[in-house]
Amino acid sequence: MSAPPEDAAPPEDPPAAAEEPAPPAPATPEAVRLAEALLFASDRPVTPQRLQQVLPEGQLAATVLAALGEALQGRGVVLAEVAGGWALRTAPDLAPALTRVVEVPRRLPRVAMETLAVIAWHQPVTRAEVEEIRGAGLSQATLEALLEHGLIAPKGHKEVPGRPTLWGTTPRFLEQFGLTSIKDLPKREELVSAEAAAPLLAAAEEKAEEEAGEAAPEGSGEDVGR
């Protein structure tokens, strides 16, 4: 057998196995307490990105939120995902008892809820289009009530003669009805007059009962369905 040529390249070493990323560090009690305090103090759902800013180095928001959710099991409040973030909500099983002693703020009238339902499903939509879908006129007072509660907002102008305002829902709308995103709305091929608001009205009734414990006894009346 002949010897290998002297200039032959040495055999290559096998490629090293890729190192698996280290698992995230478990949530510390301090991080869980920070998360709970932020959610309690916040006036809107807390996103993971916002929570991450206050956590100690090495702590991940997702891990801490999961630990907080577990810690709240069986407590009077629960961790709920709403409007693209996380918030503390009254435990659903306690809502019936709380409604007996906690004043529930006033709700929007049915015509406003119908209008809100149409806007939610058809946004962005003009006032004239809302009237056409509902089969009834839309008063300025109804629009102002929805604006006052922060449930709708202008979304630009439609490029037609007169450039009417386009309306759409807000993050407050998602939070109020316990939706993570607008895609969570029930699918409907058509919305007809009073039937348009039925799903949202049912959701508002249920949400009001579940969250009655979060309303102050001297309720200001600024929330819908709560």
- Write the DSSP string, 190-205: ---GGGGGHHHHHHHH
What burial class does residue 3 get, using C-beta atoms within 10 Å of its C-beta: 0-12 exposed, 13-18 middle, 19+ buried? Answer: exposed
In a domain, 208, yes or no: yes
Residue 222 lies in a domain: no
Q: Within 13 Å of residue 212, how many CA atoms lie on the same side as its CB? A: 20
Amino acid at 112: A
Say if residue 144 is in the same domain as residue 203.
Answer: yes
Residue 16 lies in a domain: no
pLDDT at 178: 74
**One domain for residues 80 and 117:** no
DSSP, res 140: H
The confidence score (pLDDT) of residue 25 equals 79
Output the average pLDDT for the chain: 75
Q: CATH number of the domain at 121, please.
A: 1.10.10.10
Same domain, 81 and 157: no
Above 70 in pLDDT, residue 139?
yes
Predicted confidence at residue 14, as pLDDT, reads: 59
Does pLDDT of 31 surpass 70?
A: yes
Q: Quote the percentage of the chain above a pLDDT of 90.
A: 11
At residue 137 the predicted structure's pLDDT band, cuts being 50, 70 and 90, is: confident
Q: Determine, yes or no, domain membership for 58.
A: yes
170 is in which domain, residue-wise?
110-214
Domain count, the chain: 2
Question: Tell me, what's the pLDDT at 32?
Answer: 92
Query: What is the identity of the amino acid at 142?
Result: T
What value does the mean pLDDT take over residues 166-189?
78
Say if residue 118 is in the same domain as residue 209: yes
216 or 158: which leads in pLDDT: 158
Residue 140 and residue 182 in one domain: yes
Task: Tell me: pLDDT of 29 over 80.
Answer: yes
pLDDT band at residue 133, thresholds of 50, 70 and 90? confident
pLDDT in tens, 182-216: 887 776 543 333 444 455 555 555 555 554 555 44
pLDDT tens figures, 107-128: 778 888 888 888 888 889 999 9
CB distance 67 to 27 below 8 Å: yes
Cα gap 226→215, rounded to integer Å: 7
Asked, for residue 155, whether it belongs to a domain, the answer is yes
When pLDDT is cut at 50, 70 and 90, the band that residue 94 belongs to is confident
* Tokens (6 digits) for 17: 């196995």
Task: Specify whether the CB–CB gap between 152 and 173 falls below 8 A.
Answer: yes
Phi, psi of 64 (to 5 degrees): -70, -40
